[in-house]
Structure 1
Amino acid sequence: MIQPILAGLVSAIVGYASSFAVVLAGLRAAGASPGQAASGLLALCTGIAVLAIGLSLRHRMPISMAWSTPGAALLAATGTVPGGFPAAVGAFLVCGVLIALAGLLPWLARAIDAIPRPIASAMLAGVILSLCTAPVRAVVDVPALAIPVVLTWLVLMRFARAWAVPGALVAAIVAIAVNGVDGDLSAASLRPELVLTVPAFDATALVSLALPLFLVTMAAQNVPGIAVMKTYGYAVPLRPTLLASGVATAVAAPFGGHALNLAAITAALTAGPDAHPDPARRWTATVALGLGQLALGLGAGIATALVLLSPPVLIIAVAGLALLPALASSLAGAAGEPQGPPQDRMAAVVTFVVTASGTTILGVGPAFWGLVAGAVTALVLHRREPSTVPSRPH
């Protein structure tokens, strides 16, 4: 019985440590105060715990849940929307409603799944590109802090890949302690505390944030999460899972939580044979995952204080290191199959370039315009294959 519990706890620690910096960077970029950012982290951890425990007990299957790391990267890339953080919270709430609708309306989930993989992958790659270049900027700006972090990440990627980002985070903490970087902790509370932000609804924020957040969460988290579970022989009950995660996202939104979804990467730790030899018993690992996430969420104030102590470029660098594998897989997906239609690759390139440009048009962020530009390019370049009519014998 100890094996699945350990697998769940390890999954919780790895998932939290490898991407909480991305979440905090995204919430802060969206205009959250330190207290609101810590509240968002706590709300997300609580939502993960409720969903993972509830769904696993209900379906007796290791259904791992997570926050949307690509969604947090989208927040960091988009920045503050018109209306500030209340408008961002309104976008989070609408995103939750859309995820729930995807569970209630099967055609909506199918429509998201029908987005060409190269275009969806290119949009994600464009969103996270600027964050993934942060380690380079950190090495130039604060070499004494950043170089040990990057070297630690590189060594662990070679020998213990799952612990590479947590190890880099530990290296950042040690570097900060040794170099005595001063930060402002006056706005941070070490106590776990949920802060209510009344949602505001701004049309521009909904188009530039809510819709891309929904799309990137579905395409980059829920769809791969289902695929990972399939590789281990589990058929995730899609409709109740999407409905539950959408409702949980909507509930977490006023407290700063941006999006909850199926886990894609850490799911392998709880659904694979390392969790338990018997597939029917692996659901206990996700119960342990939920309890671990809840315990980690109680330290959200401490995590936020750590971020405040760090030079912004250093914490963004850790986030960038965490997103490098996602960038690699996104670029590979954007390239498409070698035998695939060349117009798909060109549409993906257009999507990537427009999204990575960071250009805001009419107040709407680049992720939306990248998706639009890629779709238009695909439609314009699409060529209908001529039908072949067999010739009659003479």
Structure 2
Amino acid sequence: MSPTPLSVLDLAPVSAGRGVGDALRATVELARRVEDLGYQRYWLAEHHLASGVASSAPAVLIGQVAAATRTIRVGSGAVQVGHRTALSVVEEFGTLATLYPGRIDLGLGRSGQRRIEAGTPPPAPVSAPAVPAQVVDGLLIPPPFAYARVLASPRFAQASALLHQPGAVPPPFADQVADILALIRGDYRDADGLDAHAVPGEGTDLQVWLLGSSGGESAQLAGVLGLPFAANYHVSPATVLDAVAAYRAAFQPSAALAHPYVIVSADVVVAATDEAARRLATPYPTWVRSIRTGAGAIPFPHPDEVATQPWTAADQELVADRVDTQFVGAPEKVTDQLRTLRDVTGADELLITTITHDPADRLTSYELLAKHWPG
């Protein structure tokens, strides 16, 4: 069996007491180091209006990372196309692919597609039987998280308003993806049959991915188009198996892929001992809570700052699915857990995201994992 590659998903996290510049410089340094460690690709997430995340302009940061490295693939995880036009995406990433041929991944996500509804609170959820947690061949699949509270947040509405022009309505996701692919191929035609050519962008060797958290449109579209697919265990662990199953069921061979290819994400903290890793991960629930309340990711706290903070039952329920599925421990423990994730999901590659207060501890986590990962 061929070794299973490991890759990196980075949010350029800002640590409490440190600045945004520190976070961006740490991202570039981490990319240099993980390239030497053999990680296959380095993806930058897209987050907006969060004081604890500096990756708000992934194309810009991808350019910095690509310039600082030599061979590792660099890309987006993912561009929120609901806030963008197909042409702007292709021109930006086409520029990167022209400067760094054979190294740029264009990951596309559906975020922003429903932004026109952001200013209106969602209807009251219909009560449904609680879905219990289950363990599938050793992999925890927690109950699904209800996102209604986040979507109803004034902060969510504000972000939606700031990310698009007044009155703008994004086209359907499938149409945007089709336009992006056509512009890259060079055969784009509008409704009147008029052609258009993205410069740079057309004819570049961009590797296009779709990212998704469920078995819905993104997974199915990736399959139908024969594109590689990224499924989020670290963001939506309850639906990861649905996502990969829907992708594989819909898959049709294409010029890009003859067979399905799935990368699955995992939130990981590795240290020399289980105790040391647990301490580094102590702020994680507080950080996730800041996201889940709709306020936005806060700067990642120091472990000593949160060790004695009281937690209510509601707080614990808000973050339980993500906290319970974070892989934290010594290398042997975490590699066993990652093997289980790989085997149960059938992942062809694992996408590792790690956040610690001290960037040095984050680097050590990636070093220990690379050293002990059996492939």
Task: Give the alignment's TM-score, normalised by structure 1.
Answer: 0.24
Q: Which has the higher contact order (CA 8 A, sep 6+)?
A: 1
The structure with the largest alpha-carbon Rg is 1
